[in-house]
Structure 1
Amino acid sequence: MKEQSILEVIVHAISEKKGENILVYDMGQVSPFVSNAVIASAGNLRQVHAIAHNVVDAIKEHGFTLSHVEGDAQSRWVLVDAKDVVVHVFLDEERDVYQLEKLYCDIPMIHYDL
C-alpha cells in the first residue's frame, strides 16, 4: 500500500466532511517555513469545526506532526498548523472577507481530483 503524503491526508480529511472550494498552494518558493497552504470553506460554523477536527485527527492518525490549532468553538476561521502545511478552514462569509486567494494569487497551485 502506498503511503499517503500529508497533503493527500489533509485534502481527503477536508473532503470527507464536505469542505468546499479546496485550494492547495505550493509555498516552497516563497516561504522558508511552510511548504504548502490549504484553504477550504464550509457553509456553517458546525461544519467548519467538524472539518478542522477531522484534519487534526487524520494528521495524528497518519503519524504526521501537528504543531498548533488556532480557533475556538465560536471561530469563523480555524487554522491548523501541521509544520510544513498550514490549513485554513473558513466559514463561507469569512473567506469572502479575508480573500486569501488574492494574497496567494501568484503562488503555484497543486490540483487534486476529489
Structure 2
Amino acid sequence: MEHLEHLPRAVAAAASEKKARDITILDMKGVSLVTDYFVICSANSVIQAQAIIDNIEEKLDEQGIKSLHKEGSRDSRWVLLDYGNVVAHIFVEEDRVFYNLERLWGDAKAYKYEA
C-alpha cells in the first residue's frame, strides 16, 4: 500500500479515526474512466457514518482539498464524496453488503487499509 498516492490514504486514515470498519482502497486506474481510486468503508449506524463523513471532509479541508461533489444526506445509508481522482463511499454495513462494490469492480486491485 506504500505506493498508493497520498489522497486515498488520507481519506482512509480520516475514516479510520472514526472507527470505520473494513476500509478498502480499490485502484480503479485502467478499470474505470471516472476516478483513479475508490475508498470504501463501513459504519455501524447512520450516526457513525455521518461522523466518518464529517471527519473525512474536515481532515481534507485542513489540507486545502475540497470535495467536488457529495451524494447523500445526513440520514443516508450510503454517502459518496467525490474528490476527483478519489471517490469515497461510506456505507452503513447492511447497504455495503447489498451493493457489494468490491464484487462489482472485481477487476480493480484491492488494498485493505490498516491504521
Identify whether the pair has TM-score above 0.5, normalized to the shorter chain.
yes
Q: Which residue of 1 aligns with 2:18?
A: 17
Q: Which secondary structure does the structure 2 equivalent of 1:80 belong to?
A: strand
Q: Which residue of 2 aligns with 1:87?
A: 88
Deviation for aligned residue 1:65: 3.7
Matched, 1:59 2:41: no
Q: TM-score, normalised by structure 2?
A: 0.89
Q: Which residue of 1 aligns with 2:28?
A: 27
Q: Which secondary structure does the structure 1 equivalent of 2:76 belong to?
A: coil
Matched-pair contact (CA < 8 Å) for 2:22–2:112: no
Unaligned runs of 5+ in 1: none
How many Å separate the matches in 2 of 1:11 and 1:68?
18
**Sequence identity of aligned pairs in percent?**
37
The list of structure 1 runs, each at least 4 consecutive aligned residues, that deviate by more than 4 angstroms after superposition, is none
> Larger deviation: 14-23 or 4-13?
4-13
Deviation for aligned residue 1:44: 0.8
Q: Which residue of 1 aligns with 2:39?
A: 38
Unaligned runs of 5+ in 2: none
Deviation for aligned residue 1:111: 4.2
Deviation for aligned residue 1:87: 0.5
Q: Which residue of 1 aligns with 2:105?
A: 104
Q: Which secondary structure does the structure 1 equivalent of 2:13 belong to?
A: helix
Q: TM-score, normalised by structure 1?
A: 0.89
